[in-house]
Structure 1
């Protein structure tokens, strides 16, 4: 799904599990929509286990800490997995390259 928060001018694209917990999240900010986060819960957990959590957080960000059922002030739009994957792949490529 995707949600827009106008207070921060940010689009949140999220993939959730059956219980509504975010397993992957992309954040696109501002009018140009550069990615400011493209985090995977599984990668975050591996980074934490390896003692590299700060490095992961600084590069990719984190996923939401609450299930989407507890989010307030959002109007989610459903996406297909293919639509999410397109945004995910683009964001990860841009983050890998870094700022211009």
Structure 2
């Protein structure tokens, strides 16, 4: 699913499990849709366990903690898996290509 936060001009793209918890999250900012985050909960957990969470967060960001259904003013637009994968793949490629 996706939703827009107009105040900051950010599009949020979410992959969620059956309970509404985030599995992966992409954030695209501004009219250019610049990726500012493309985080995976499983990757975040592995980085945490390995003691390199700061490095992961600095590269890919973090996922939201609350189930999306608990967000105030949440009005999601449903996406297909293919639509999410396209956004995910593009964001991850662009983030990985950034100079450090």
Q: CA deviation at 1:14?
A: 0.2
In 2, distance between residues paired with 1:45 and 1:87? 22
Q: 1:5, 1:74 within 8 Å by CA — same for their partners in 2? A: no
TM-score, length-normalised on structure 1? 0.97
Counterpart residue number, 1:27: 27
What's the secondary structure of 2:54's corresponding residue? Answer: helix
Counterpart residue number, 1:78: 78
Q: CA deviation at 1:80?
A: 0.3
Counterpart residue number, 1:3: 3
What is the correspondence of 1:27-46 to structure 2 with a 5 Å cutoff? 27-46=27-46
What's the secondary structure of 2:47's corresponding residue? Answer: helix
Q: CA deviation at 1:74?
A: 2.4
Q: Aligned pair count?
A: 99
TM-score, length-normalised on structure 2? 0.97
Q: List gaps (5 residues or longer) in structure 2.
A: none
In 2, distance between residues paired with 1:68 and 1:43? 20
CA RMSD of aligned residues (A): 0.7
Q: List gaps (5 residues or longer) in structure 1.
A: none
Q: CA deviation at 1:75?
A: 1.4
In 2, distance between residues paired with 1:65 and 1:2? 16
